[in-house]
């Protein structure tokens, strides 16, 4: 499915639709060029659960963990990692089993731990609009 987002203000409605359409999974695999809007998407999603929560990019720390009541949310950026062995050292695969939502940017090295049904979102920029291609992950 393709969704066209012309302005950041459209993200809350897009996220509400995603929650309804893809309620079967709480793992989001995000792909897109630098600056495409992966972290912005995650920020809006998390703030849809708690508008007062400040969401930071996990680029340098690899993973951020957020708590909203009993809900645990993982936001991970694996941009600097290349192999599953490097991912294993971060502890992120174990966190996947403990959280209610997981958002993983640059997800390729963690695929051995991802189950079928996760939500894949590819974000492309074309003429100042964002195109979100949303699919369900299936192992090959």
Does the structure show a pLDDT above 90 at 136? Answer: yes
Return the pLDDT at 139.
Answer: 84
Average pLDDT over the chain reads 92
- What would the mean pLDDT of 45-66 be, rounded to a whole number? 89
Return the pLDDT at 14.
Answer: 95
The domain defined by 2-136 folds into Rossmann fold (3.40.50)
- Provide the 10 A C-beta neighbour count for residue 107: 22
Could you read off the pLDDT of 77-120 as tens digits, one per residue? 999 898 999 999 999 999 999 999 999 999 999 999 999 999 99
Q: pTM for this one?
A: 0.93
Q: How far is CA 115 from CA 31, 48, 108, 119, in A?
A: 17, 25, 13, 10
| C-alpha to C-alpha distance for 76 and 102, rounded to whole angstroms | 8
- Output the six-digit token pair for 122: 């590819």
Domain boundaries, the chain: 2-136
- Please give the sequence-ordered ranges of beta strands (E in DSSP) within 8-70, or none if there are none: 27-32, 63-68
Does the structure show a pLDDT above 90 at 123? Answer: yes
- Residue pointed to by tokens 């079928």: 116
């Amino acid at each position: 499915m393709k969704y066209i987002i012309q302005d950041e203000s459209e993200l809350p409605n897009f996220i509400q639709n995603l929650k309804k359409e893809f309620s079967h999974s709480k793992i989001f695999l995000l792909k897109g060029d630098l600056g495409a809007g992966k972290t912005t998407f995650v920020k809006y999603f998390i703030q849809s659960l708690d508008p007062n929560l400040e969401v930071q990019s996990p680029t340098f720390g690899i993973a951020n963990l957020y708590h909203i009541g009993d809900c645990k949310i993982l936001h991970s950026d694996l941009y600097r990692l290349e192999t599953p062995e490097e991912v294993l050292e971060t502890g992120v695969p174990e966190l996947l089993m403990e959280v209610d939502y997981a958002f993983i940017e640059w997800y390729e090295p963690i695929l051995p731990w991802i189950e079928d049904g996760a939500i894949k979102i590819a974000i492309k920029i074309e003429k100042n609009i964002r195109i979100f291609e949303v699919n369900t992950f299936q192992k090959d």
